[in-house]
Chain A
Amino acid sequence: MTDSALRELADDPSSRKRFFKMLGGAGAVSAATVFLAACGDDEDEQSEPPAAAAVDNNNSDLEILNYALTLEFLEAEFYDKVIASGLVKDKKVANLAKQFGQTEQEHVDALTATIKKLGGTPVMAPKTKFEETLEKGLEEVLNTAATVENLGAAAYLGQAGSIKNKEVLAAALAIHTVEARHAAALNQLVGRGFMGDGELSGSIPTGAFAKPMDMAAVNEAVKPFLA
């Protein structure tokens, strides 16, 4: 990786400031939104984006934030373990894993602070179960990283329509696209094209449009990684 790229990768305090700025000043509670229930149409090559599935309309912003926090804890922990394992020999890939892990930790910190600021109690870091994955070696590890990032992106997309506070929504969107970048990079690294063709489950975009996943489906998908 070039020097300038490394510098880019270095901790960017301005992006964290921007995140908190988005949450500055008590967020106005938005008016009740009307949720349009629509049947999702999963056919490929459609010229309309997938209709909003009637996902999780009843979760409060705090519940959504804590759900996101759990996923971020999971991701941060995973990258920590991967780096510590020494499995990744390629310097560029190792650097990516390190940077992605640092980003997830920033997400953990920001979500924790947000939940507290909104008067909620942040969940604790969950106990994880990554040993099996690590034992299977590098390919399994990278595929798992790709799977988890794709899940993360789909999870945020799935919750966007339910978030009531506009500042929280802005923050969630800012994280959503970062998870998508991670997912695309990892999909590409494991040879699946940036959309993630192949056996990666559930949360892969269909053609030109990303697919949301609801909370139940995401929680089910990450169960194998929770002790």
Chain B
Amino acid sequence: MASSRLVAPELATIKVHGMTREAFLMRSTLAAGAAYGTLSATGLITKALADAGSGDVDILNFALTLEYLENEFYVRAAKQVKGLSKYESDLTKELRDNEAEHVDALAATIKKLGGKAAAKPTFDFGDAFASRASYLKTANTLEDTGVSAYNGAAPAITSTEVLAAAGSIVQIEARHAALIRLVRDVAPAPRAFDKASEMDAVLSAVKPFIAA
């Protein structure tokens, strides 16, 4: 699988389970057949999500999974990453707390709609916390990916209320992305139009962070 087909090629070099992410993806794809089959097997996402025409609850569960991931990422970053400035450390905690609120809000919305909130997966971020640089780079990619995921999924949402909720969250993710980018001294808003990614592409991209 070529890096260029990954929704977030920058993630390819992060080592997870002792091999690069790219190698991991290739191996799991070959071993498990269709990506949908692999995802179903983890019990993470129902097959309904994999099929076309997912409902609002499925989209919310997709978002919830990403928020679980981001929250856990920052929870661990706050504890593990060395060499952050006071500002960067405070920022990490603020991002962590924002994502926690997103998790709560999405779970509550799913429940309100009569759906079942996806369970929190077990995550493995490999060597992402080994240095300040790898933490910030991964954070950058995760936030940008979150933005593209919400922007990709949102037009399929049928309820105005759910769309408003998704919109109010994605705007914060975009703000997060900009701030992390400024810390990295890269352009906060490199594109005039932000990317929109397909759901299955995003799930494929983050799957290596989900421990088997």
Task: List A residues at the B interface (Cβ < 8 Å).
Answer: 1-2, 4-5, 8-9, 12, 15-16, 18-19, 22, 33-36, 38, 47-53, 96, 99-100, 102-103, 106-107, 110, 153, 157, 160-161, 166-167, 169-171, 173-178, 180-185, 188, 194-195, 205, 207-212
Contact = CB atoms under 8 A, between A and B. Distances in A.
Nearest to A102: B192
Contacts of A160: 154, 163-164, 167
B154 A209 contact: no
Contacts of B196: 22, 170, 173-174
Contacts of B163: 52, 160-161
Chain A interface main SS type: helix
Size class of the B contact interface (CB-based, 8 Å) = 35 or more
A198 B101 CA distance: 22
A177 B174 contact: yes
B193 to A, nearest CB: 4
SS of B interface (majority) = helix
B108 A48 contact: yes
B178 A174 contact: no
B4 interface: no
Given A103-B189, A177-B170, A178-B191, A36 B102 contact: no
A191 to B, nearest CB: 12
Interface of B: 97-99, 101-102, 104-105, 108-109, 147, 150-151, 154-155, 158-161, 163-165, 167-179, 182, 185-196
B185 A210 contact: no
Contacts of B167: 157, 160-161, 173, 176, 210, 212
A178 B109 CA distance: 26
B86 to A, nearest CB: 14
Contacts of B161: 36, 38, 51-52
